[in-house]
Structure 1
Amino acid sequence: MTQFIGEYDCKVDPKGRIMLPAGLKKQLPEEASDKFVINRGFEKCLVLYPFNVWQNISAEVNKLNLYNQKNRNFARYFFRGATELTLDTNNRLLLPKSLLDYAGINGELVLFPYSDRIEIWSKEAYDNLLNEEPEDFALLAEEVMGGKVGERSFDELP
C-alpha cells in the first residue's frame, strides 16, 4: 500500500501546470505509471490520486446502492470534476482551471501527501488550516485513534 509523506511548496504556472517534486515522484507506486486522477476534496482543496488508487476508491463508491438518494448524491459530488492527468516529459501536471478555481489556487500552493493521496491546497488556505489547530490535539487524537492499535489503547503501548 502506498504511504506518502512530506509537505511541498509549489507554484502553479500561468497555464495551470505544477511540477511534481522529485521527492514526491520517488514515492509513486509503479502501478500508477505516471497517471493520476484529480478531484475536489472534502474541504476547499483538490485531491490527487495515483491512478491505481483511484481505481480502488471508485470501485468502492460504485458498490453503493444507487437506489438510495444519499448514495446517489454522494456519488455525484464525489465524481464531479474528476479528471485523468498524466505527467508530461518535464514531470508537470496540467490542472483543470475549474478545479483550480474551486480550490482558490492561483499562485503558490502546498502539496500535502498522506496515506495514498496528495491534497493540493492554496498556500493561504493551507496556512489558515494549520493555524486553526485544535486547542487540545491530544484529546482529538484520543477520540479519533483510541483503541486503533489492535484492541489496545495508546495508553497501553510500551
Structure 2
Amino acid sequence: MANFIGEFECKMDAKGRVMIPSGLRKQLDPAAQEKFVLNRGFEKCLVLYPKNEWEHISAEVNKLNQYVKKNREFVRYFYRGASELGLDSTGRILFPKRMLDYAAVEKDVVLFAYSNRIEVWDKSTYDGLLTDEPDDFADLAEEVMGNAGNKGADELS
C-alpha cells in the first residue's frame, strides 16, 4: 500500500496538464506503472489514485450489496467521472476538462499527498480550506484520535 506524503504547488498549462513533481513521482510504487485513476473527491477536490491502489479501493466498493438503494447511489456517484490517466513522456498528467470544472481547478494547483491518494486542489480553494482551521485543533485531534492505540483501556480500570 502506498504511503504518500507531501504538499506540492504546481502550475497547470493551458491544455490542462500538470507536471507531477519528482519528489512525488519517487514515491510511486512501480506496480502502478505510472498509471492513475482520477476521481471526484470530497469538498470539491479531485483525487488521483495510483492504478494499483485504485484496484484495491474499487474491489471494496464492488463488494457493496447492490440490492440496497444507498449502496447503488454511492457506487454511481463514486464512479462518476472516474478516468484512467497516465504520465506522458515528460511526467505530466492531462486532466479531463469536466473534472477540472467540477473542482474549479484553474492555473495554480496544490497536490496534497497522503495515505494512498493525491488530492488535486485549486490553490485558492485549498488555501481557503486551511484558513477554516478548527478553533482548537487539539480538541479535534482528541475527538478523532483520542482512542487510537488504547485498545482495552476500559478493561484496565
- Alignment TM-score > 0.5, same fold: yes
CA deviations 1:84-126 (Å, max 9, x no partner) are 0010100000000000000001110100000010000000000
Count of residues paired in the alignment: 153
The residue type paired with residue 60 of structure 1 is: E
TM-score by length of 2: 0.95
1:152 Cα deviation from its structure 2 partner: 7.2
1:150 Cα deviation from its structure 2 partner: 5.0
Which residue matches 2:30? 30
| 1:62 pairs with 2:40 | no
The residue type paired with residue 11 of structure 1 is: K
1:151 Cα deviation from its structure 2 partner: 1.7
What is the CA–CA distance in structure 1 between the aligned matches of 2:98 and 2:150, rounded to whole Å?
43
What is the CA–CA distance in structure 2 between the aligned matches of 1:29 and 1:9, rounded to whole Å?
22
What is the CA–CA distance in structure 1 between the aligned matches of 2:12 and 2:51, rounded to whole Å?
22
What is the CA–CA distance in structure 1 between the aligned matches of 2:26 and 2:82, rounded to whole Å?
24
The residue type paired with residue 30 of structure 2 is: E
What is the CA–CA distance in structure 2 between the aligned matches of 1:49 and 1:2, rounded to whole Å?
10
Which residue matches 2:84? 84
Alignment of 1:1-158 (within 5 A): 1-149=1-149, 151=151
* Secondary structure of 1:128's aligned partner: helix
Return 5+ residue gaps in structure 2 as ranges. Answer: none
TM-score by length of 1: 0.94
The residue type paired with residue 147 of structure 1 is: N
What is the CA–CA distance in structure 2 between the aligned matches of 1:152 and 1:122, rounded to whole Å?
43
Q: Percent identity?
A: 61
The residue type paired with residue 36 of structure 2 is: F
Structure 1 moving runs of 4+ over 2 Å:
none
What is the CA–CA distance in structure 2 between the aligned matches of 1:152 and 1:139, rounded to whole Å?
22
1:149 Cα deviation from its structure 2 partner: 1.7
1:12 Cα deviation from its structure 2 partner: 0.9
1:81 Cα deviation from its structure 2 partner: 0.3
1:148 Cα deviation from its structure 2 partner: 1.3
Return 5+ residue gaps in structure 1 as ranges. Answer: 154-158
What is the CA–CA distance in structure 2 between the aligned matches of 1:143 and 1:149, rounded to whole Å?
14
The residue type paired with residue 37 of structure 2 is: V
* Secondary structure of 1:43's aligned partner: helix
What is the CA–CA distance in structure 1 between the aligned matches of 2:16 and 2:152, rounded to whole Å?
47
1:2 Cα deviation from its structure 2 partner: 1.2
1:11 Cα deviation from its structure 2 partner: 1.1
What is the CA–CA distance in structure 1 between the aligned matches of 2:152 and 2:96, rounded to whole Å?
45
